[in-house]
């Protein structure tokens, strides 16, 4: 009897352990590319990492326990290779035209829209017409970004040769160059310009922002073919965040448009040309 009772208690103990550990065992890690791209990703390799990506992944992790979304630091030029090598499963806030042509993976419409705007130093008599012609003007650009006016060619030598571009790794630096008259026009993500003026309200009258857009970002996610989560599963999670208002709370305050995604059109083919 004692032996049988001992076996029963042991079997009960193992059952409890399995029940408690089952959700942990079922959780699969999804590595998400984190490349410095304010305000979406800020210093992903540091302990002070922040940005809209981390806010969105936090909301996804709170929503469910089947997948754990984590940031994997990378760099804008390196993210393509990391994706193809399997180091990252998911690249978010992307566009299929930004160098992803021919790279296998699902394209998932995030239902988020941002834009790239032209910014100049405010001066008497300067108006929207100032942005009508870029030739002869010194441009301050973010190194690695793909710009519509340049045919989405991000090659630094091309941009310097054809557009007299000054390339940095900081929107702040580019805006300061305008104030110091070291550059004539900076191209800045509209969402980041919102953040900059929010943090530097005394400079609000120092800049002239264009109504003309260099490009409108219709953000996509690029999902690796062998990723732990499918395109349909990821899209379903995003739909829940959109329906629950989390996406609007995260992105709306930065001027990023959160729009519905038509059923069945959120994910496209794998991108092979």
How large is the average pLDDT for residues 85-108?
A: 89
CATH architecture of 115-216: 3-Layer(aba) Sandwich (3.40)
Please give the DSSP secondary-structure letter assigned to residue 123. -
CB 168 within 8 A of CB 143: yes
pLDDT-derived band at 95, boundaries 50, 70, 90 = confident
* CA–CA gap between residue 232 and residue 14 (Å, rounded): 35
Cα–Cα distance measured from residue 67 to residue 56, given in angstroms and rounded to the nearest whole number:
14
pLDDT of the residue at 266: 52
DSSP at 65: S
| More reliable by pLDDT, 135 or 14 | 135
pLDDT at 168: 92
Checking DSSP bridges between strand 257-258 and strand 185-189, what pairing results, if any? unpaired
The CA–CA distances, whole Å, from 19 to 13, 22, 23, 72 equal: 10, 5, 8, 30
pLDDT tens-digit readout, 133-172: 998 999 999 988 889 999 989 899 999 999 989 999 889 9
Confidence of residue 96 (pLDDT cuts 50, 70, 90): confident
- pLDDT for 204-227, tens place per residue? 899 999 999 998 888 999 999 999
DSSP string for residues in 164-212: -EEEES-HHHHHHHHHTTS-SEEEEEHHHHHHHHHH-GGGGGGEEEEEE
Domain ranges for the chain: 2-113+218-268, 115-216
In this chain, the answer to whether the domains covering 2-113+218-268 and 115-216 adopt an identical fold is: yes
List, for residues 248-266, the tens digit of each pLDDT value: 999 998 889 999 887 654 5
> Mean pLDDT over residues 65-83, rounded?
92
Number of residues in the chain: 273
Q: How many CB atoms lie within 10 A of CB 22?
A: 10
Query: Does the reported pTM lie above 0.85?
Result: no
The pLDDT score that the predictor gives to residue 37 is: 83
Fold observed for domain 2-113+218-268: D-Maltodextrin-Binding Protein; domain 2 (3.40.190)
């Amino acid at each position: 009897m004692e032996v049988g009772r001992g076996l029963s208690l042991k079997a009960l103990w193992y059952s409890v352990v399995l029940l408690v550990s089952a959700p942990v065992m079922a959780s699969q890690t999804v590595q998400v590319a984190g490349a410095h791209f304010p305000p979406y990703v800020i210093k992903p390799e540091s302990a002070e990492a922040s940005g809209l990506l981390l806010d969105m992944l936090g909301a996804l992790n709170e929503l469910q326990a089947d997948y754990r979304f984590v940031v994997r630091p990378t760099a804008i030029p390196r993210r393509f290779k990391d994706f193809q090598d399997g180091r990252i499963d998911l690249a978010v806030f992307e566009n299929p035209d930004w160098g992803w042509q021919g790279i296998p993976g699902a394209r998932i419409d995030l239902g988020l829209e941002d834009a790239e705007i032209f910014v100049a130093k405010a001066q008497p008599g300067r108006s929207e017409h100032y942005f009508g012609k870029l030739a002869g003007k010194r441009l301050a650009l973010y190194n690695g970004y793909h710009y519509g006016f340049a045919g989405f060619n991000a090659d630094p030598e091309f941009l310097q040769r054809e557009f007299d571009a000054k390339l940095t790794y900081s929107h702040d630096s580019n805006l300061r160059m305008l104030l110091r008259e070291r550059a004539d026009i900076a191209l800045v993500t509209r969402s980041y310009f919102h953040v900059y003026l929010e943090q530097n309200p005394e400079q609000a009258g120092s800049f002239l922002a264009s109504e003309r857009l260099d490009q409108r970002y219709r953000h996509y996610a690029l999902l690796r073919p062998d990723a732990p989560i499918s395109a349909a599963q990821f899209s379903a999670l995003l739909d829940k965040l959109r329906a629950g208002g989390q996406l609007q709370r995260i992105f709306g305050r930065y001027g990023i448009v959160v729009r519905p995604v038509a059923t069945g059109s959120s994910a496209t083919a794998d991108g092979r040309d």
